[in-house]
Amino acid sequence: MKYRGRQLRHELKYIITYPQYYELLGRLKPFMQKDGNLPEGYLVRSLYFDDMYNTAYYQKEAGDFRRCKYRIRIYNNCRDGIIKLEKKSKISEYIAKTDENITPDEFYALLDGRPQFLLEGTPVMQDWYAAMRTKLLSPAVVVDYIRDAYICHEGNVRITFDKELRAGLEFDILNPALVTVPAMSGGVLVMEVKFDDFLPRHIKTLIQPAASAHMAVSKYILCRKAKDLYQRKDFLP
């Protein structure tokens, strides 16, 4: 399904336990290919931005039908040198993502509130510039987790398991020593199921019953709350 020229994908999220996770791995591995070369998964670190009214936060909490998020993402502490500037749009259970690579200097310019270079870039970069200038978009929280991912070419299915969710206390995602705090109970993790137009029947069967209850879980919200709670405790007498 396409919307305004962009491919829309289904996105379903679930909170599952570790016993469910290990059971699912046993079911999925014969039918899905592991995405990535690291057997233990890979580190995903994202700096999310929000406006002066925390619109992305409150829209997610309210379950708004249409919303978008702005984030800058790296993998494995940016050992590959790739920094992704992203805009993720969501319409009901459909998502679309646009991105562009930026340099470390450009990342720090955005961190300092200097987005002028975006004007000369691609449409997603210009979209970011407009949001920073008109909505006063600024850094909100760092979201950190280990991702274990599997793919199935039929239906373009991608199932990810996001473990050890943590919230950054500062905003410099290029700092490998960034201090983070736990954002989720150690006994659970987030499973995401993404696909294009259909979810193959055998995959749908395999992820049951762990996927029996679709939840509106947001790693961004969980990390915002964890960071706020930690900072409030830090100021208590």
> How far apart are the C-alpha atoms of 56 and 51, rounded to whole Å?
8
pLDDT average, residue stretch 151-179: 96
Q: Which residue has the tokens 């398991």?
A: 161
Helix, strand and coil percent figures for the chain, each rounded to 5: 30, 40, 30
* Residues ≥6 apart with Cβ < 8 Å to 148: 40, 41, 160, 161, 163
User: Mapping DSSP to helix (H, G, I), strand (E, B) and coil, where does residue 114 land?
Assistant: coil
pLDDT digits (tens, 9 = 90+) for 28-64: 999 999 987 667 789 999 999 999 999 999 998 887 7
- For all residues of the chain together, what is the average pLDDT? 90
pLDDT bracket for residue 168 (50, 70, 90)? very high
Per-residue pLDDT band at 3 (split at 50, 70, 90):
low
45 within 8 A of 73, measured Cβ to Cβ: yes
A 10 A CB-CB count for 2 gives 8
pLDDT digits (tens, 9 = 90+) for 78-98: 988 999 999 999 888 889 999
Q: What's the CATH number for 2-235?
A: 2.40.320.10
Domain residues of the chain, as ranges? 2-235
